[in-house]
Amino acid sequence: MAPGRKKKGKKVPSGPVADKPCHNCRRRRLRCDRLLPHCAKCEGKGADCLGYSQIFQWTGAVASRGRLAGQQSSAALYTPARSTTGHSRASLSSVSSISSNSPVSSSSASSVASPSVPSSSPAFIAPSLSQVDEVTETSEAESESGSELDIFNDQYVDQQDNGDDNDATPLASGDTQLVCTTNNSYPLTSETSTPWVLVDPLYQDITSNHRQYLAYFDARLSRDFVAYDMPDNPFRNLLKFTQAHPLLRQVIIAASATHMYNRSRPWLSSDSLDRGLGPRNLLMDALEAKHQVLRMLPSALQSIESTGGDIVLAAILFLINVELIESGKHNWKAHFDGADKIMKLLGPVSDVDESLRDYIVSDCFIYYILDSTFRPTASDSHSYFESCEALQVLGKTTNSYYCCPPELLEIMLIAARLSNTKPDEVVSADMVTAAGAALLDRARNFDVLPWAQEINLSNIPSTEQDPVLSRFRAATSHRLAICLYILHAIPSVRTWVGEDLADAIFAELHHVLCMIPDDDINLKATTWVTFVFGACARTPEMKDWVTVQIKKLMIESPWGFLYAARDALQMLWSVQAEGMPMTSWVQTLRDLHMDFLIV
């Protein structure tokens, strides 16, 4: 061997080494030096070493470049949920659930998306969220067992009526509520699992507790604001603004937590309209979020130009909804007056899309009309709603939750204004009667079928049976209820046409309401209709039927204003039972100054 020439030998790495090659070398089938913390071969080539531990990757992510550009990854969006026997929608519309992911093994990672929307939507929130689902025929005893459980450790799962709980109080068929069960029923596997999984970057700075409420809004609550939960539900698009606007995030959290709390409250008995207490942590989260909204609202109003008028208006609309979910009494009025003032300041559509603004303004207008029907005094002539055309606003939202033709809502508004008109030297009593009779003819002769057919059937979920018939029944019930309202809000019209016509319309409305199935998606739109029917009811049998109908509505939509409607009906019925003189139940209701809103 020539002098000065060294023998080439195998390089021995110095320092700690990994027990397996790095991910880069394994993919390229190269010999890895296994140095920690990074492979020297990767560093020498200027490549970013992926290391030796488990790789976490986005599920359902869309490639931005390469031959797979525009395609989603093949990783599963969510792991299969625990097998359960599905329950029918005999009494309720089915609810989307947010499936929790199974424990992640050391060789793979998966994440969960809400099944109600694709992963590419802005509502693709966190995995590891609690599963949310409806519960059929759940007992009071079962509900109370989990009422105080911490929401972080709870799962909302299907409970099937298996007949084992003989001591539990049975509920009405199709009764639903959220039930909290501990995780002890779902033992973890022996495999090592990670406590967290990746979330959408839009929500990564939001606590898991808040992500849970945002996910609930995405999967369940957003459906209450439209007739059919189509993929382009405009209210779901609000979620993408929650990161940049804490005010909007907190008010959505408050609405979701309050709605979850109402759904989790057990019925006191099968024939009762009252519920017990729900999980305390849900109520505390709702109150805390509501407090944060009220604290942030003044500064948002002062900087409305930078925040955006549409965002502030959406926040106030949901603040009204929070009050309606809680009770529907008193507090909503101040927020509604604020929404009226903000709508005067709205400029061109900026951040939010135009359809979202249309639905927000339309909901405010519907609330205004429904409030006008029982408002003790005439509305302010300087109101935004008095200065704009109802048909122009309401005609843009064919999928509105209220499922009522704009022409009928306009008739309702005119009738409410007419009922508050006091005869004087300019407007005589005969003029009011003639105008009311003309409104009654318009309502009776309005054809709802063309409106019922004005919907894109291709976007409606296939699970909905005959949407045109459903819309026709809901619109017909509104038409008949408005006729009854005109007859009782303007008593001189009822005297003019006679009691026989009022009785015939009442009987026809009862027939139409009986034809609407319990699982009809538009059942929730008949609350005001049912209230008007109940106020006109005279016999105990009809009043009992109305009570059952109100409970069906409570099951379908656990909003607190339904309890205010029930209380108002009971007060009207008690006035009737006492034999007190009552020219019009509408005027009697106004004299009570209950200040409630039925939406």
Domains of the chain: 14-53 (4.10.240), 303-458+465-592 (no CATH)
Reported as a single tens digit per residue, the pLDDT across 397-414 is 888 999 999 999 999 999
pLDDT for res 541: 95
Written as six digits, the tokens of 142 are 């079962």
Contact 279, 156 (CB under 8 A): no
pLDDT for res 138: 40
DSSP character at residue 93: -
C-alpha 324/C-alpha 327 separation (Å) is 5
C-alpha 174/C-alpha 5 separation (Å) is 90
C-alpha 537/C-alpha 546 separation (Å) is 8
Phi, psi for residue 348 in degrees, rounded to 5 = -60, 155
Phi, psi for residue 185 in degrees, rounded to 5 = -75, -10
Which ranges in 45-148 belong to alpha helices (H)? Answer: 140-145
Pairing of the two strands 180-181 and 155-156 = antiparallel
Reported as a single tens digit per residue, the pLDDT across 454-475 is 888 888 887 788 999 999 999 9
pLDDT for res 444: 95
pLDDT for res 67: 62
pLDDT for res 199: 60
Contact 506, 484 (CB under 8 A): yes
pLDDT for res 207: 83
SS3 62: strand
C-alpha 458/C-alpha 151 separation (Å) is 38
pLDDT for res 350: 63
Residue 521's nearest CA partner among 475, 467, 476, 480 is: 467
Total residue count of the chain as it appears in this document: 599
- Residue type at 4? G
What's the number of CA atoms in the CB half-sphere (13 Å) around residue 53?
A: 6
Give the chain's residues under pLDDT 70: 1-15, 56-202, 348-351, 378-382, 387, 425, 581
> DSSP letters along 412-430, please?
HHHHHHHHTPPP-SSS-HH
C-alpha 296/C-alpha 242 separation (Å) is 14
The CA R_g of the chain, rounded to the nearest whole Å, is 29
SS3 217: helix
Contact 536, 582 (CB under 8 A): no
C-alpha 445/C-alpha 438 separation (Å) is 11
- Quote the distance between the C-alpha of residue 513 and its chain's center: 24
Q: What's the angle, vertex CA 560, arms to CA 549 and CA 538, rounded to 5?
A: 35
Reported as a single tens digit per residue, the pLDDT across 232-269 is 889 998 998 998 899 999 999 999 999 999 999 998 88
> At how many degrees (to 10) do helices 309-326 and 332-343 cross?
160
Reported as a single tens digit per residue, the pLDDT across 263-283 is 999 988 888 888 889 999 999
Average pLDDT, the chain: 76
C-alpha 556/C-alpha 93 separation (Å) is 8
pTM over cut 0.85: no
